[in-house]
Amino acid sequence: MELTILWYLIPSLLMFCCGVYGFITRKNMIAMLISLELMLNAVDINFVVFNRFLFPGELEGMFFTLFAIALAAAETALAIAIIINVFRVSEKIDVDDVTKMKF
Amino acid sequence: MEPVIPIIILALPLTMFLVLGLFGHKMAHRTAGILGTLGMGVTMVLAYITAFTYFFSGSSEFINEEGVRLQSLIFNWDWLAFTDSLVIRLGFLLDPISALMLVVITTISFMVHLYSNGYMRDHHGVWETGFQRFYAFLSLFSFSMLGLVVATNIFQMYIFWELVGASSYLLIGFYYTKPSAVSASKKAFIVTRFADLGFLIGILVLSFYTGTFDFTNFTSVGVEGMANVYQVDITTAEGIRNWIATSPAPVFMGGSVLTWALVLIFMGGMGKSAMMPLHIWLPDAMEGPTPVSALIHAATMVVAGVFLVARLFPLYLMEEAALNIITVVGALTAFYAAMVACTQVDIKRVLAFSTISQIAFMMVSLGVARPEFHHGLGYMAAMFHLFTHAMFKALLFLCAGALIHAIGSNDYTAMHGLRKHMPITHITFLIGCLAIAGIIPFAGFFSKDEILTAVFGQSIFWYIWMSAVAGLTAFYMFRLYYLIFWWKEHKIPEGHHAPHDQPWTMTLPLVILAVISCVAGFVPFGNLVTWNGHPMFESVNFFTNLGALDWSVASISLAVAIVAILLATVMYKKENTLPAKMKNALPALWDWCYHRFYWDELYMFITHKIIFGCISKPIAWFDRHVIDGSMDGMAWVTQRISFAIRGLQSGNIQFYVWVYLIGVILLGAITAVCLI
């Protein structure tokens, strides 16, 4: 059995949908962050796969993924810092409690 | 001539302005005064050297083999080079009139600098506030005026023209805590700016069609190979005449481009030189300190208009119409101002109207100057009168300053009978009056006689008219003289000490100017300043001017002046009821003269009722309601919409994600539908 592009894209799609679902339904901000990372990783897989199958001789997609991973790590660090600060103020990390940023 | 001295002449007053303006408040008052005076003194000496070199060195730069004086560019730097043909230059043009003006400006300016050391402090020796600022502004003015007269091109002249206007504004408003001074300075600035609008348009039209800004080119365009030669014979005006006749210049409303350009440029001159109907600012400008009135509003800045016409005279000669306009405007103004001067109470206002009248004399003289008549006698006469008038009018103003300083009021009603108390001021003022009235051998006699001769050569009507004005001049000046120094015994107010002559810093300039007023008439101007540089006399000695007089004209004007003086003597020497009777006999005439023929009221009516009421108010309404209203409306609509939809921004992140997600799905669906 040959591994076609779909073998990669379908898990990636599932991962992305899980991420979206988790991001919308979870109230815990850490869980939301994890969902976010799932979405990002799904996108990364897409990059790599499309690069591999459409432009086999080239490496742009790979490098782009490396950048995205680095960015995701930085973003996570930032997000966790924010979450810790939120926790210090309100003793909770429920997203429903953090609704002060509005008009 | 090496450009070093001319550069210093311009740079020194500018430096003084910067030094006194920036560091003046850190200096003692006396230091600032002495510094300013010394700076001006050095400038004066250098200007004398320059003028002397120009007139008497006989160098081939300045005079050719036939004895014709040349225009000479000492230096001419490219300042703003926009394109090859559009270059604005700054330079130093030396020719008869600029050399003459250098002498006049620096002399009067130095006298005023010296005089102000005494004038700008009270009887107890307390200095006026802003004394250093005053000297800084005086230096700025001197710099601007010097730059104006030596301008090599009309654009440089325009720049300095505005600078003198600005310094005049600053100095009129020197007592800026006084509302009348503030409004006077604004009035002067706005009226002259309005006139300068015409000047600017004239410059643009003229330079657009001639393709040059340079004065030397205006007299040599079309002459082969002359365009960039530094020394130009002033007589080559023929070249531009041919050039304009052959070039395809359009005609606008019956006048050629040249006519319009020259009339518009003259409009600028009318504003600066206070010709009717743009004269209204000058009487109010007397709100400034009296030395300023002497320097700016009598001797130098107000003759800039005359200078402008003289500078462009070869061009004006090509347009009979423009010269006729100058004659008519000048003659009407001269008569009007002389009439008004007969009734004014404020001594500075009398002198202001007298200045207007005398400048109008110069304008008339330029207006009637024709090369056919006595080698353009009118041009020479105008410049001669400019020179003598600067001296005796500055003298009269400085005397008025001494009187005002001693009495503390501008009204002659507070003076009366001062001749015993202030003998030096009395004698010098009398000399000034004799000079302006045109009594032989004082300076005014010669210059005024030349003017009247020139007018006589052109038109009998204007000759009679101008002679009448000369008579009026003698009358109002001696009316003023008698009312200040005679009329009745001086009454010293309770608790005051008797008025007395002022300190030497104030009397010395009076004496010097009085001496100049006595002898200036003998300067053989015909050999120094003529329109085309050709000398008028074969040889000169001290009595050349006396010998050159046209005695038929001179004796008539002398007789008119003497009759007018006698009339003034009868009416005003001793206290009597004659003036009051005359006033009651012709109440309407007196009223019109006293109220300056209601020109100010007319201007108020035109500006406030017609322009403000009919034009400005609707425009202001349109601006406030339509333009502002549409902007306000947009802001209002935006605000209402924002209030209505701001609930969407709930702060709940997951709600945002829902919205986003639904949006993406919808977009995707729409795209898919469209693609299929």
Q: How far is B630 from chain A (nearest CA, A)?
A: 27
Residues A13, B537: Cα–Cα separation, whole Å: 111
Dihedral Cα B565, B571, B575, B577, nearest 10 deg: -170
Least CB-CB distance to A101: which of B651, B654, B658? B651
pTM: 0.80
599-618 in chain B: CB under 8 A from chain A: none
Share of chain B above pLDDT 90, in %: 34
Query: B81 φ, ψ to 5°?
Result: -100, 95
Task: Name the 3-class secondary structure at B88.
Answer: strand
Compute the count of residue pairs across chains A and B with CB atoms less than 8 Å apart.
23
Q: Which residues of B touch A100 (CB under 8 A)?
A: 651
Residue type, B661: L
CB contact under 8 A, A20 and B661: yes
Least CB-CB distance to B649: which of A23, A98, A103? A103
Kindly state the average pLDDT of the residues B653-662: 90
Find the closest chain A residue to B654 by CA distance.
Answer: A24
Q: How far is B664 from chain A (nearest CA, A)?
A: 13
Tell me the per-residue pLDDT of B25-58, one tens digit each, with 9 for 90 and over.
888 888 888 999 999 999 999 999 999 998 888 7
Q: Hey, which residues does B63 pair with through a beta bridge?
A: B69
**Which residue, B159, B156, B185, is CA-closest to B171?**
B185
Q: Quick one: pLDDT at residue B591?
A: 83
Least CB-CB distance to B654: which of A24, A102, A103? A24
Query: What's the token pair of residue A36?
Result: 């976010």
CB contact under 8 A, A95 and B654: yes
Tell me the per-residue pLDDT of B50-80, one tens digit each, with 9 for 90 and over.
999 988 887 877 887 777 787 888 888 888 8
DSSP result, B433-502: HHHHHT-TTSHHHHHHHHHHHHHHHH-HHHHHHHHHHHHHHHHHHHHHHHHHHSBSPPPPPTT-PPP-PP
**Which residue, B191, B414, B402, is CA-closest to B283?**
B191
Q: Which residues of B touch A103 (CB under 8 A)?
A: 646, 649
Helix-then-strand count for chain B, H and E? 29, 5
CB contact under 8 A, B649 and A102: yes
Residues B309, B262: Cα–Cα separation, whole Å: 9
Residues in chain A: 103
**Which residue, A65, A12, A103, A100, is CA-closest to B642?**
A103
Tell me the per-residue pLDDT of B124-183, one tens digit each, with 9 for 90 and over.
778 888 888 889 999 999 999 999 999 988 889 999 999 999 999 999 989 888 899 999
Q: Residues B598, B599, B602, B608: is their CA dihedral positive or negative? A: negative
Share of chain B above pLDDT 70, in %: 94
Find the closest chain B residue to A96 by CA distance.
Answer: B652
CB contact under 8 A, B651 and A102: yes
Q: Hey, which residues does B354 pair with through a beta bridge?
A: none
Q: Is the complex ipTM more than 0.90?
A: no
Q: Which residues of B touch A94 (CB under 8 A)?
A: none
Query: B89 φ, ψ to 5°?
Result: -115, 155
Residues A97, A90: Cα–Cα separation, whole Å: 8
Q: Over 60: is that where the pLDDT of B254 sits?
A: yes
- First vs last Cα of chain B: how many Å apart? 91
Q: Quick one: pLDDT at residue A81?
A: 95
Q: Over 50: is that where the pLDDT of B228 sits?
A: no
Tell me the per-residue pLDDT of B389-441, one tens digit each, with 9 for 90 and over.
999 999 999 999 988 888 877 888 778 888 888 888 889 999 999 999 888 88
Task: Name the 3-class secondary structure at B87.
Answer: strand
B649 contact A CB<8A = yes
Q: Which residues of A touch B654 (CB under 8 A)?
A: 23-24, 95
CB contact under 8 A, B651 and A20: no
Q: Quick one: pLDDT at residue B626?
A: 94
Residues B93, B88: Cα–Cα separation, whole Å: 15
Domain positions in chain A: 8-97
- A→B contacts (Cβ < 8 Å), by residue, are 20, 23-24, 95-96, 98-103
Q: Quick one: residue B148, left, alpha or beta (phi over 0 = left, psi -120 to 50 = alpha)?
A: alpha
Block residue for tokens 């002249």: B157
Query: What's the token pair of residue B538?
Result: 């074969």
CA atoms within 13 A on the CB side of B511: 10
**Which residue, B201, B212, B199, is CA-closest to B243?**
B212
Q: Name which of A13, A16, A21, A24 to mutate to probe chain B: the one with the most chain B Cβ atoms within 10 A of its Cβ.
A: A24
Domain A8-97 has CATH 1.10.287.3510: yes
Kindly state the average pLDDT of the residues B508-525: 88
Q: Where are the beta strands (DSSP E) in B82-171?
A: 87-94
Q: How far is A40 from chain B (nearest CA, A)?
A: 15
Residues B419, B425: Cα–Cα separation, whole Å: 8
CB contact under 8 A, B653 and A100: no
Find the closest chain A residue to B657 by CA distance.
Answer: A24
Q: Which residues of A touch B646 (CB under 8 A)?
A: 103
Residues B93, B157: Cα–Cα separation, whole Å: 11
Q: Hey, which residues does B547 pair with through a beta bridge?
A: none
Kindly state the average pLDDT of the residues A81-102: 86
**Averaged confidence pLDDT in chain B:** 85
Q: Quick one: pLDDT at residue B277?
A: 86
Least CB-CB distance to B657: which of A23, A96, A100? A23
CB contact under 8 A, B650 and A95: no
Residue type, A80: I
CB contact under 8 A, A99 and B651: yes
Q: Quick one: pLDDT at residue B230?
A: 35
Q: Over 70: is that where the pLDDT of B222 sits?
A: no
pLDDT class for B220, splitting at 50, 70, 90?
low
Q: Name which of B639, B649, B650, B654 to mutate to probe chain A: the one with the most chain A Cβ atoms within 10 A of its Cβ.
A: B654
Report helix angle B304-311 to B347-368, nearest 10.
Answer: 10
Q: Over 70: is that where the pLDDT of B100 sits?
A: yes
Residues B382, B103: Cα–Cα separation, whole Å: 16
Residue type, B516: I
Q: Over 80: is that where the pLDDT of B246 sits?
A: no
Q: Which residues of A touch B650 (CB under 8 A)?
A: 99, 102
Task: Name the 3-class secondary structure at B128.
Answer: coil
Q: Over 60: is that where the pLDDT of B231 sits?
A: no
Lowest mean pLDDT among B105-114, B167-176, B253-262, B334-343: B253-262
Q: Quick one: pLDDT at residue B238?
A: 55
CB contact under 8 A, B652 and A100: no
Q: How does DSSP classify residue B595?
A: T
Least CB-CB distance to B652: which of A23, A99, A103? A99
Contact status, residue B536 vs residue B453, Cβ threshold 8 Å: no
Kindly state the average pLDDT of the residues B365-370: 88
The larger pLDDT score, comparing residue A98 to residue B338, is at: B338
Give, for A48, the enclosing helix (H) or strand (E).
helix A29-54
CB contact under 8 A, B652 and A24: no
Least CB-CB distance to B657: which of A24, A100, A102? A24
Q: Quick one: pLDDT at residue B540?
A: 75
Q: How far is A57 from chain B (nearest CA, A)?
A: 31
Residues B108, B388: Cα–Cα separation, whole Å: 11
Find the closest chain B residue to A99 by CA distance.
Answer: B651
Find the closest chain B residue to A26 by CA distance.
Answer: B654
Least CB-CB distance to B650: which of A23, A24, A102? A102
Residues B168, A69: Cα–Cα separation, whole Å: 73
Q: How far is B650 from chain A (nearest CA, A)?
A: 6
DSSP result, B164-220: HHHHHHHHHTTSTTSHHHHHHHHHHHHHHHHHHHHHHHHHHHHHHHH---BHHHHTT
Q: Residues B252, B253, B258, B261: is their CA dihedral positive or negative? A: negative
Q: Quick one: pLDDT at residue B607?
A: 87
Least CB-CB distance to A95: which of B650, B653, B658? B653
Q: Over 60: is that where the pLDDT of B234 sits?
A: no
B71-81 and B231-232 beta bridge pairing = antiparallel
Cα–chain-centroid distance for residue B291? 15
Residues B81, B459: Cα–Cα separation, whole Å: 47
Kindly state the average pLDDT of the residues B336-364: 90
Residue type, B79: W
Residues B536, B519: Cα–Cα separation, whole Å: 20
CB contact under 8 A, B651 and A96: no
Tell me the per-residue pLDDT of B466-504, one tens digit each, with 9 for 90 and over.
999 999 999 999 998 988 888 877 777 776 777 777 788
Q: Which residues of B touch A20 (CB under 8 A)?
A: 661
